[in-house]
Amino acid sequence: MGNIIIKNESDLAEMRKACKLASRTLVEAGKLIEPGITTDSINQFVHEYTLRHNAKPAPLGYRGYPKSVCTSVNEVICHGIPSNRVLQEGDIINVDVTSILNGWHGDVSATFYVGEVSDEAKKLVEVTRECLQKSIAIVKPGVRLGDIGALIQQYAESRGYSVVRDFVGHGIGRSFHEAPQVTHFGKAGRGQRLAKGMTFTIEPMINQGDFRTRILDDDWTAITIDGKLSAQFEHTIAVTENGVEVMTAFDEPLLHSEVFP
């Protein structure tokens, strides 16, 4: 995966623009979500909105991925491929947007509610959002990656959920995925120490049941092995002098999801 690439102020200024576009795209995509729409319609919106803003959707053609966004419904953990699947009342859906603007990447995702969803589904989504929020809150120079993973694992497991091991957060910048790998489980006090100028994602995938995954025959769609629900939230962040900048922060609350500052 190579070494961790430290970004300088001018790198961060460029990357911030890509991240803002990604988060605006996700906010707008969220407004479309309701029973009766297809996941393809989300893909079409994300694709066109991205091109209209002089950017490229990073997923399209990435290692052969066929679409411009990932749409992961219910037991799909991540990398769900948009299709003619129609969203049903009670579904939960993660929409994962990655934009490339002027060579820089911004990666952000959220789980949305399709109409009214069960209390069990809501609880899972709330806890998953809290895993991301609480882990971002501890980021600053000197903190270790293991501290982030341990916090997420402890919080999710204390609520009776499990943490997916097979997919992790990642460094990001001119590349979609670069060092370091950011696991959402682990031991406090272990792993890489954070330093100013590091940029990476935190993107916990939290399951109702077993943490293990299965990949469908399309070679992308990752599902829970027990068919139970999975939820995910993701932000791209930068380590600053004294703390953290959420580069993909939303400038308005997400509709049809957890209110997310």
Binding site for Co ion (CB under 5 A): 96, 107, 109, 201, 203, 234
CA-to-CA distance for 200 and 62, rounded, in angstroms?
19
Q: Please, what is the minimum distance in Å from the beta carbon of residue 82 to ligand MF3?
A: 11
Q: Which does 65 bind (CB under 5 to 8 A by kind): Co ion, ligand MF3, none?
A: ligand MF3
| Residue 82 token pair | 């948009």
Per CB under 6 A, residues contacting ligand MF3 are 59, 62-63, 65, 70, 79, 96, 98, 107, 201, 203, 234
DSSP 108-172: EEEEEE-SS--HHHHHHHHHHHHHHHHHHHT-STT-BHHHHHHHHHHHHHHTT-EE-SS--EEE-
Nearer to ligand MF3 by Cβ, of 64 and 189: the residue is 64
The angle formed by the CA atoms of residues 161, 209 and 127, to the nearest 5 degrees, is 30
Least CB distance to ligand MF3 at residue 240 (A): 22
Dist CA 13 CA 83 (whole Å): 35
CB distance 55 to 101 below 8 Å: yes
| Closest residue to ligand MF3 in the complex (CB) | 59
Q: Which does 199 bind (CB under 5 to 8 A by kind): Co ion, ligand MF3, none?
A: none
Binding site partner of 253, from Co ion, ligand MF3, none, Cβ cut-off 5-8 A by kind: none
Q: How far is the CB of 72 from Co ion (least distance, A)?
A: 10
- Of ligand MF3, Co ion, none, which one sits near residue 99, judging by CB under 5 to 8 A according to partner kind? none
Strand partners of residue 98: 107
| Among 205, 113, 215, CA closest to 162 | 205
Q: How far is the CB of 215 from ligand MF3 (least distance, A)?
A: 12
Long-range contacts of 157-161 (CB under 8 A, 24+ apart): 159/123, 159/127, 161/124, 161/127, 161/128, 161/206, 161/207, 161/208
Nearer to ligand MF3, 59 or 146 (CB): 59
By beta-carbon proximity to ligand MF3, the closer residue of 59 and 186 is 59
Kindly tell me which of 62 and 116 has the beta carbon lying closer to ligand MF3. Answer: 62
Which residues is 231 bridged to in the sheet?
206
Residue 23 Cβ vs Co ion, minimum distance, rounded to whole Å:
12
Of 91 and 203, the one with the shorter C-beta distance to ligand MF3 is 203
CB of 162 to ligand MF3, least distance (A): 19
The Cα 86–Cα 36 span in angstroms is 6
At 62 the three-state DSSP class reads helix
Nearer CB in complex with Co ion: 25/160? 25
